[in-house]
A and B are shown apart, each in its own frame.
Chain A
């Protein structure tokens, strides 16, 4: 069962209906956010020749874009907290579109850094955060499935954009292609228009439909207990707000840093992201280094993408089953560890068949992790605080995401062999995986204890209230005595 924080929404999420249109919108937004920077690499060779710069200077465009996307996380969270998902996504779509159109007229490489890198990155951040947040407002019971389906956008859009970009480059050159990509990315506004804010009015039915959260206790007791706890936390929350955090807390929830689950997630993720992207980046070069020809090396990436595409909705579906859902954090820990084991076993792949097997297993591992990445955060902090949480997480993850591939590249250069880099990545993923397993075991125990304590307290307050009600004469007698 999800922890108590998650259900303090104040209403029942629809878990369907317009929610599936939201999933489509999130699919498009998340797809563009993750796939767009990766697919731009196809233009690099032409742009490099045009501006007569080195490859590393061109690669900065992608890095600046990724860095801006992660760094703008908190800004995005603040805006979503204030204005909701829809306007932020539409503004984000317009921003990326403008960035690409401006870049198509660029006359120096610095124009590309500023336009595509900074403005484009911010625009993509304004797409990613709100898309993830709005899923949490529309889904509760089927949330892992919705998350898995929405995250499938990333490999699908990448799969579509890669050949499309090549076609555009051959037909229009890089300038024309940027112009047309600016129009294509405007479809994020369509995704944003789908993101109707959830109608909380129509969904508040506290007596009937609040889901029974606790295993024990009569339904009515549970309902009353829940509303009392809810009101308690809300009044506490309001007092806190008016007292110390005040201004900042209205924008972004800094108190998350005291949240146990959030801290576990953050620490594990920071270590994990060092080894997350590098194996993908180096898959093709490593294959070519082993003597595989260009075409087969490229097809390895396609195999990886297909495995990724298939496993994401499947993971969402599995995460939704009644056996996994209550302990979904263990499923996530398993996914992280599986990634680590996959990389550690990579050096055993010596020929093309071995590499294909590795690509399939790695595709499964990568997809599983990506599908669960934000679902477990939602599970830990609850939909209310998810927006702030994801903003804080992305800006802190900015460092490892950017440093990971260059550090791995340095490892390859020092040792001259790819296997040490894969060992390092494997360790970087296996250690957080085990860390997650251990810490979440303790976390679940603590949460269960807290829930039992809360339940006991509520039962007692209810009993007292009932006593007072049923003995008014005694009370009156007491009063008159005094």
Chain B
């Protein structure tokens, strides 16, 4: 009996010890995929230290075993051993402190990270001697070609917002649209409100058509490119204004034109009245010409008469 109790206690102790090493960071809302870690594809990224503030971008779409390798050539006086460790999102990763040997005139730090869910994405840094740091930003492909200026539309009109993932980046699995509601994002379901919203999805492009705009439709709209690991967001601002906005400068300019035209024509009329009175006086004095459009012919005939 005692032997079986001892066995049980021993097994419980073993269980407790092994449980301590289980990763107990924030609980997932969804359980992590039950893929055995060894069967994940492996990806290697290397970076050599070039200067302060060095950032390497790593794009991942699907779960992967990511090996990050950092190399550093060291100071002038190279010591044979230095310390190095890893950080994630600014916080030191436990048990990542290592002693790095000087090999082939450089120090090398490497570690394999299991990128299986959204929590595993972030900013990974390798640090040498607490002074030399290289950042790896591990994220899903970001939407690069997005409009930075607001789209201006009118009440009653329809607005079209486009999001595109560049050809050089991998295609997303699907697209989703969100509307900003205060600080929250509310997903737009086109099926629910067919008259208002229409979503057209192409592989690399997505278009959101908002019909029958009202002033309340102004605001930020987010398009999300959905990948297995996470969704990358881009935002576009939609501004809805009434027709009175452009009408004000329009009317102002039309008034300016009318004023100028009237002024010029009045000025001309007053000058021509002056010239008429002068012209009458002149024609009384000199016995010259006949006015009119066909002055050429009449004038030449009159001159002929005078000359011959």
**Chain A interface residues (CB < 8 Å from chain B):** 8, 10-11, 46, 49-50, 52, 169-173, 175-177, 179-180, 182-184, 186-187, 189-190, 193-194, 196, 199-202, 204, 206, 224, 227, 230-231, 234-235, 238, 465
Contact = CB atoms under 8 A, between A and B. Distances in A.
Contact of A234 (B241, B250, B268, B297): B297
Given A227-B303, A234-B297, A190 B261 contact: yes
A11 B303 CA distance: 14
A49 B253 contact: no
Contact of A183 (B160, B253, B291): B253
Given A175-B246, A193-B261, 19 more contacts: A10-B296, A10-B299, A170-B149, A172-B152, A172-B246, A176-B152, A176-B154, A176-B241, A176-B243, A180-B250, A180-B253, A187-B253, A201-B295, A202-B279, A204-B289, A204-B299, A227-B300, A234-B297, A465-B308
A155 to B, nearest CB: 23
Chain B interface mostly helix, strand, loop or mixed?
A: helix
Interface string B282-300: 0000001101000111011
Given A179-B246, A196-B268, A231-B304, A186 B299 contact: no
Given A180-B246, A186-B257, A230-B296, A49 B162 contact: yes
Nearest to A201: B291
- Complex A-B, nearest 7 residue pairs according to Cβ-Cβ distance, in ascending order: A176-B246, A173-B152, A231-B300, A183-B253, A10-B296, A193-B264, A193-B261
Nearest to A174: B152
B151 interface: yes
A201 B291 CA distance: 6
B3 interface: no
Nearest to B159: A50
Given A176-B152, A189-B257, A10 B303 contact: no
B203 to A, nearest CB: 17
Chain A interface mostly helix, strand, loop or mixed?
A: helix
29 contacts: A8-B296, A49-B162, A52-B207, A169-B152, A172-B241, A172-B246, A173-B154, A173-B241, A175-B157, A176-B154, A176-B241, A176-B245, A180-B249, A180-B250, A183-B250, A183-B254, A186-B253, A187-B257, A189-B257, A193-B261, A193-B264, A196-B268, A201-B291, A204-B288, A204-B289, A204-B295, A227-B300, A230-B300, A234-B297
Given A10-B295, A52-B160, A189-B257, A183 B154 contact: no
Interface residues of B, number: 42
Interface of B: 149-154, 157, 160, 162, 207, 241, 243, 245-247, 249-254, 257, 260-261, 264-265, 268, 275, 279, 288-289, 291, 295-297, 299-301, 303-304, 307-308
A294 to B, nearest CB: 14
Contacts of B295: 10-11, 200-201, 204
A193 B152 contact: no
Nearest to A187: B257
| Interface-centre pick from A176, A184, A186 (highest chain B CB count, 10 A) | A176
A180 B264 CA distance: 23
